[in-house]
Amino acid sequence: MECLIHINWDEEAKVWTAINDYIPLAFESESVDRLMEKVRNAIPELVELNHLESPRFLYFLMENREEVFA
């Protein structure tokens, strides 16, 4: 099983967010590396608590929208 984690920059809060509806999870951090670490560490417990199939692979999809012209 594969699991896609969406990572987005929240300009207002100035943090990166990670979400996934299957696991379910929602985390934030000022650092992408720290955010990915939080996700990796939390997944085993979230999978167990929600009686889900454990993912074999994690895919991190990062999105960052920037305003180029004001």
Domain ranges for the chain, please list them.
Answer: 2-63
Spatial CA neighbour of 36 closest among 49, 27, 23: 27
Third-level CATH fold of 2-63: TTHA1013/TTHA0281-like (3.30.2390)
Strands (E) located in the chain: 2-10, 15-20, 25-29, 57-63
Tens of pLDDT along the chain (70 residues)? 899 999 999 989 999 999 999 999 999 999 999 999 999 999 999 999 999 999 999 999 998 777 788 6
